[in-house]
Structure 1
Amino acid sequence: CFFFISFEETPMLVAVLTYVGYGVLTLFGYLRDFMRQWKIEKCQNATERAEQKDFVPLYQDFENFYNRNLYTRIRDSWNRPICSVPGAKVDMMERVSHDYNWTFTYTGRVIKDIINMGSYNYLGFAQKAGTCQEAAAEVLSQYGAGVCSTRQEMGNLDKHEELEELVARFLGVESAMAYGMGFATNSMNIPALVGKGCLILSDELNHASLVLGARLSGATIRIFKHNNMQSLEKLLKDAIVHGQPRTRRPWKKILILVEGIYSMEGSIVRLPEVIALKKKYKSYLYLDEAHSIGALGPSGRGVVEYFGLSPEDVDVMMGTFTKSFGAAGGYIGGKKELIDYLRTYSHSAVYATSLSPPVVEQVITSMKCIMGEDGTTVGKARVQQLAENTRYFRRRLKEMGFIIYGNEDSPVVPLMLYMPGSNFTTTCHVLKIGLFVFSFYLYVKCIYVLKRS
């Protein structure tokens, strides 16, 4: 594999203009708040209702200010409702606002066949027709839509066990367990693996589910710079030399948290180096493959296969079914003793409702397609096509002069716009020509870029 990560420096003029833009917005926001307070401004949508004045504020002062004066200005860039299968093309409900995006009114018109570039439907399995949908519909008629119980009670179906056996075989591990929610797979399992007296070393750009799981665990958390092996090794050395604070006792466990593909940066973890450090300092590795499973590697088996490594080198392999498989839920894979432990102590296993049977069948059918066990080469062709599309898309954007981030093989492609007005105008313009893209407010992002440069 060709491992190259691009973090192009922000041009100084662009950075300055971006900060000036936010400064102007902030200045006018405070000015408008002053005018609202004195009833000079006629539009009072941003003011608190009289009946709420005695209630505790829902937001802190600046969060409230940001929401009213910055976010609402371009709010139409988000939460656009679709009324079709979220596949390669979607139908979107048209809406308009007559009060500067405080409320929206639906016109009744549906914008048809918009190219969907705002989802993680990497391999196109989120579709309204085909083998996966037919299989899911058949299972729906046999098992129903829901289970209404946990795996430890009456919610353990033969389909769940079939899925877990398939996932373990797909990953090349001894055992696996499936969960009903990808976010909770991280946030509810990490606390079962580490606790007080343990140390978590987390990449600074890890997903919110990993961050929440680490915080809930009660373990000590230390952050290393994004994909920076020198920073990680320094923390490992310090942890071993100094031990726990005050007592200086050795840590019970040291757990490294990383992602296969980072969903906001588009970068791929330097897994060979992480594994080398993990072995050198005898720590544990937790790998979140939510965005890389199905999307990387010659046969879609994720970042481990992408680098030609052994699954045995990763202690905890986590992933989701929400991206490449067009379904819902997540999984943990690893040694049998690890999975048996999680079946008993994981909060998601003990308290959460089991995966819906049709969803399970969707994952089973799509995974077998990727593995070629359906008797076709459709799955393999989709994985190869995704890799080709990713490189072509990134190459063409660079040729057109855009600043993009991430690894050459990452299907997550962040295109930097910087200025707040550009977010809104760009999403509106591409929607007119039949493209749906997701825009993210980049104030914090710009600060991060400047720090890196």
Structure 2
Amino acid sequence: MASTAFGMATPYVNGAAKEIADGVGAALNTTFSAAELVSEWIPGSRIIFRYVRASHQNDPFRTLLEILLVVFMFWYFGRKQQKPGFNDLELTPKEVQELIDEWEPEPLVPPLTDFQKTELEKLPIIAGPAGPKPKLADGKERINLSSYNFLGIMNQESIKEKAVEALRKYGVGSCGPPGFYGTIDVHMDLERGLAKFVGTESAIIYSQGFSTVASVIPAFSKRGDLLIVDDGVSFATQKGVQISRSVVKYFKHNDMADLERVLEQVRLDDAKSKKKLLNRRFIVVEGLYLNHGDICPLPELIALKEKYKYRIMMEESFSFGVLGKRGAGISDHYDVPANKIDILIGSMTGALASSGGFCCGTKEVVEHQRLSGQAYTFSASLPAMLAVAAIEGLNILEKEPAILTRLRENASVIHSTLNKNLHPDAEVYPREEASPIAHLRLRLQCSREEQERLLQDVVDEAARNGVLVSRAKYVTDQELHPPQASIRLVASAGHTRKETEKAATVVRDAARKVLKSRK
């Protein structure tokens, strides 16, 4: 019997195997004895040999395995390495050219469908600056209900003059990110002005509107944190949620009962879990939903936030400068202090007729983003002329409150006119007339492609009659919850009541004509 590495006796198959094993063991013992005598002059070697001999006597097969591993190590590192390209196939120039000729690259984007080609051919071309009533290439003016020119100040002369002055003083661009010589005095003035107008401690500005929310969300919510998200948020908000890599749970659009159900379910799951996680938790919503046009019920949201101990991330790209007596956004609309919203995100591309975005909150919230906001840290800062344009837009909003009154009146006119004698196969959403965004949808039971074709016919018919509107367009294969196909109409204070009523009537009649012809 011979001992093994597992401490068990293993019978030999025959006597020959036993003799071989005894011979190997004797040879190893002799080798160890000889090596010990030869290396006595090496300091510390006796300790090593005593350890190896004891290990060998207890388990000779382990010693054999270790020797084989040492031999393999010397062979592996001592072998001659092959040079890169040693076995490369050599081709003649003719063969190389044949391979190049045969190669067909994949298209960078999917090919256009026949519907998309037709749509591009009919796309109206604006000759000159955009505005409430732009002039097209055919020389005729159209009433514009498709641009987010809520306050009608896109072509305001005072904004142009201020922008030109800033251009001559500061140049075209900042040529650097905010943390590296990209911040100048007008940036600081704009941040202070935004914080004061909204009613928060501090504010930070970003150079791209889309990237603002997509950067702010992952700046605060990381892997393992929890986001409770309205399933009707816009594409930019969806990208921010996706980039954060947080745990995400969705609730039905603008449904506070369903939100409470989700929050309660999370609470119950936490009670059952043995691991007590200390993670950050946010409710992500929008003040005015671009994809639906309705307004967030902020008071109910705050009540749930305080009950379940969450923070609110409010995206206000389309409610800032639009809702409320002063145009300060969703908090102004409900007369709620802005500090009830933990993180307030907005855009300057709509109401302020400029570019870029901003985030308002406490000083801690703002300063955290100066190093953690990816779009802030790694992007060139907002050009000075655009910062000055935003400041002037903010001044107009503060000095001319009548603009907001006119905007609300025009929004109400659009809703009431569209709903009057509207074709039964169409509907207007949302129902609330305070929203400056209205969606004209179809009630037909048909495919999305068919609905989009019918809606495009309505758009084309309205354009022929002097009104510019557009279908709400989405990247449907990337949208988490694609909204229903619709025509999005945007009210503007740059139109008179008569112009707004006329434009809404044209769109309504175009819808009636297209839907009647379908039958």
Q: TM exceeds 0.5?
A: yes
Once residues 69 and 81 of structure 1 are traced to their aligned partners in structure 2, the CA distance between those partners, rounded to angstroms, is 20
Distance in 2 separating the partners of 1:286 and 1:210: 10
Q: Which of residues 467, 485, 488 in structure 2 aligns to 1:435? A: 467
Task: State the distance in 1 between where 2:485 and 2:211 align.
Answer: 30
1:414 corresponds to which residue?
439
- Letter paired with 1:344: L
Q: Which residue of 1 aligns with 2:148?
A: 120
Q: Distance in 1 between matches of 2:106 and 2:342?
A: 45
The 1:266–1:223 alpha-carbon spacing in structure 2 relative to 1, beyond 3 Å, is: same
Structure 2 counterpart of 1:360, from 387, 401, 415? 387
Aligned mates of 1:400, 1:179 — CA distance in 2: 45
Higher helix share: 2
1:133 corresponding residue in structure 2? 160
Q: Aligned runs of 1:184-195 on 2, under 5 Å? A: 184-195=211-222
Deviation at 1:358, TM superposition (A): 1.0
Q: Secondary structure at the match of 1:331?
A: strand
Listed one character per residue, the Cα deviations across residues 161-199 of structure 1 (whole Å, up to 9, x for unaligned) are 000000000000000001111111011121110101100
Structure 2: 5+ residue stretches without partners: 1-100, 445-450, 477-481, 487-519
Equivalent residue for 2:126, pick from 66, 82, 95: 82
* Contact 1:255 1:285 (8 Å CA) reproduced: yes
Count of residue pairs brought into register by the alignment: 370
Do the aligned residues in 1 keep the contact of 2:225 with 2:280 (CA within 8 Å)? yes
2:421 matched to which residue of 1?
400
Structure scoring higher RCO (CA < 8 A, sep ≥ 6) equals 1
Q: CA deviation at 1:243?
A: 3.4
Matches of 1:211 and 1:321, distance apart in 2: 20
TM-score by length of 2: 0.67
| Counterparts of 2:470 and 2:210, CA distance in 1 | 20
| 288 and 446 in structure 1: CA distance in 2 versus 1, 3 angstrom threshold | closer
> Which of 259, 262, 265 is residue 235 of structure 1 equivalent to?
262
Residues 245 and 326 of structure 1: is their aligned pair in 2 closer, same or farther, counting only changes over 3 Å?
A: farther
Matches within 5 A, 1:20-419: 54-56=104-106, 58=108, 67-76=112-121, 80-93=124-137, 110-127=138-155, 129-243=156-270, 248-372=275-399, 379-401=400-422, 403-406=427-430, 407-417=432-442, 419=451
| Residue 446 to residue 197, structure 1, CA distance change in 2 (3 Å) | closer
Structure-2 residue corresponding to 1:14: none
User: 1:415: how far off?
Assistant: 1.2
Give the root-mean-square deviation of aligned CA atoms. Answer: 2.4
Structure 1: 5+ residue runs without aligned partners? 1-50, 94-109, 373-378, 449-453
Secondary structure in structure 1 of the residue aligned to 2:130 = coil
Identity of aligned residues (%): 27
Greater Cα shift, 148-157 or 245-254? 245-254
How far did residue 77 of structure 1 move?
Answer: 5.6
Tell me the CA shift for residue 447 of structure 1.
8.5
Rg comparison, structure with higher value? 2
CA deviation profile, 1:132-182 (whole Å, cap 9, x unmatched): 111111111111121111110011000000000000000000000011111
Offset, 1:76: 4.1
SS at match of 1:393: helix
Contact in 2 for aligned 1:244/1:251 (Cα 8 Å): no
Check 1:160–1:396 CA distance in 2 against 1; reply closer, same or farther (3 A cut): same
Distance 1:261 1:52, change over 3 A: farther
Mark the CA change 1:52 to 1:309 in structure 2 (over 3 Å): closer, same or farther. Answer: farther
Mapped to 1, the partners of 2:272 and 2:389 lie a distance apart of 48
Contact persistence 2:441–2:485 (CA under 8 A): no
1:159–1:225 CA distance, 2 compared to 1 (3 A): same
1:270 deviates by 1.1
CA distance in 2, matches of 1:253, 1:284: 8
Amino acid of the structure 2 residue aligned with 1:91: K
- 1:261-295 deviation digits (Å, cap 9, x = unpaired): 11121110111111110111110100011001111
